[in-house]
Chains A and B, each alone.
Chain A
Amino acid sequence: MPEKILMKGNEVIAEAAIQAGCRFYAGYPITPQNEIPEYMSRRMEEVGGVFIQAESELAAINMVFGASAAGARAMTSSSSPGISLKQEGISYLAGAELPAVIVNMQRGGPGLGNISGSQQDYFQAVKGGGHGDYRLLVYAPNCHQELWDLTMRAFDKADEYRNPVMILGDGILGQMMEPFEPVPYSPPNLPPKDWVLDGCRGREPRVVKSLYLGEGELERHNLKLFQKYSRMKEQEVLYEAINVEDAELVIVAFGIASRVCYTAMELLREHGIKVGLFRPVTLFPFPEKEIKGLSLQGKDFLVVELNMGQMVEDVRLAVEGRTSVEFYGRAGGSMVTPEEVMEKVLSLQRPTSTRLSL
Chain B
Amino acid sequence: MSTTPLRLKELSKKEDLLTGGHRMCAGCGAPIAIRQVLLAAEMPVVVANATGCLEVSTTIYPYSAWKVPWIHTAFENAAATLSGVEAMYRALKKKGKIKERIKFIAFGGDGGTYDIGFQSLSGAMERGHDIVYICYDNGAYMNTGIQRSSATPLGANTTTSPAGKVIPGKLQPRKNLTKIMAAHGIPYVAQTTPAHWRDLMTKVRKALEVDGPAFINVLSSCNRGWRTPTDRAIEDCKLAVETCFWPLYEYENGKLTINQKPKEKKPVVEFLKTQGRFKHLFSPENEHLLKKAQELVDKEWEDLLREERMWKAEEGE
Q: Which of B118-165 contact A (CB under 8 A)?
A: 118, 141, 143-145, 147-148, 150, 159-162, 164
Which A residues are CB-close (under 8 A) to B8?
Answer: none
Check B159 against A38 for contact (C-beta < 8 Å).
yes
CB distance from A31 to the nearest CB of B (A): 5
| Chain A residue contacts of B160, Cβ below 8 A | 29, 37-38, 41, 51, 53
* CB-CB nearest in chain B for A32: B144
The CA-CA distance from A20 to B100 in the complex, in Å, is 62
CA distance A18 to B114 in the complex (A): 30
Question: Which chain A residues lie closer than 8 Å to B144 at the CB level?
Answer: 29-31, 34
- The residues of A that contact B150 with a CB separation of less than 8 Å are 55
Q: How far is the CB of B162 from chain A (nearest CB, A)?
A: 6
Q: Which of A33-69 contact B (CB under 8 A)?
A: 34, 37-38, 41-42, 45, 51, 53, 55-57
Determine if A38 and B145 form an interchain contact, defined as CB atoms under 8 angstroms apart: yes
Main secondary structure of the interface of B (DSSP, over half): loop
List A contacts of B167 (CB < 8 A). 45
> What residues on B are CB-neighbors of A41 within 8 Å?
159-162
Q: Is A45 a contact partner of B166 (Cβ separation < 8 A)?
A: yes
Per-residue CB contact flags for chain B residues 33-49 toward chain A (1 = under 8 Å, else 0) read 00000000000000000
> In the bound complex, how far is the Cα of B118 from the Cα of A56, in angstroms?
10
B72 near A112 (CB under 8 angstroms)? yes
Does A29 contact B147, Cβ atoms closer than 8 Å? Answer: yes
B interface bracket (residues with beta carbon within 8 Å of A):
20 to 34
Say yes or no: is A81 at the interface (Cβ < 8 Å to chain B). yes
CB of B111 closer than 8 Å to a CB of A: yes
Q: Is the C-beta of A28 less than 8 angstroms from some C-beta in chain B?
A: yes
Question: In the complex, are the beta carbons of B74 and A56 less than 8 A apart?
Answer: no
Please tell me the size bucket of the interface on A.
10 to 19
Residues of A within 8 A of B161 (CB): 41, 53
Q: Cα distance A37–B161 when bound, in Å?
A: 10
A29 and B164: CB pair below 8 A? no
Q: How far is the CA of A32 from the CA of B82 in the complex (A)?
A: 28
- Least CB distance, B224 to chain A, in whole angstroms: 14
Picked from A53, A85, A112, the residue with its CB within 8 Å of the CB of B148 is A53
Also in contact, A38 and B147, with CB within 8 A (given A45-B166, A53-B160): yes
Q: Which residues of B contact A57 (CB under 8 A)?
A: 116
- Could you list 12 further interchain pairs (A-B, Cβ under 8 angstroms) beyond the known A38-B160, A51-B160, A55-B115? A29-B160, A34-B144, A37-B147, A38-B147, A38-B159, A38-B162, A41-B159, A42-B164, A45-B166, A45-B167, A56-B76, A57-B116
Binding site for B on A (CB under 8 A): 28-31, 34, 37-38, 41-42, 45, 51, 53, 55-57, 81, 85, 111-112
List, sorted by A's number, 5 A–B pairs whose CB atoms are closer than 8 Å: A29-B145, A31-B143, A51-B160, A53-B148, A56-B76
| Chain B interface (Cβ < 8 Å from any Cβ of A) | 51, 72, 74-76, 111, 115-116, 118, 141, 143-145, 147-148, 150, 159-162, 164, 166-167
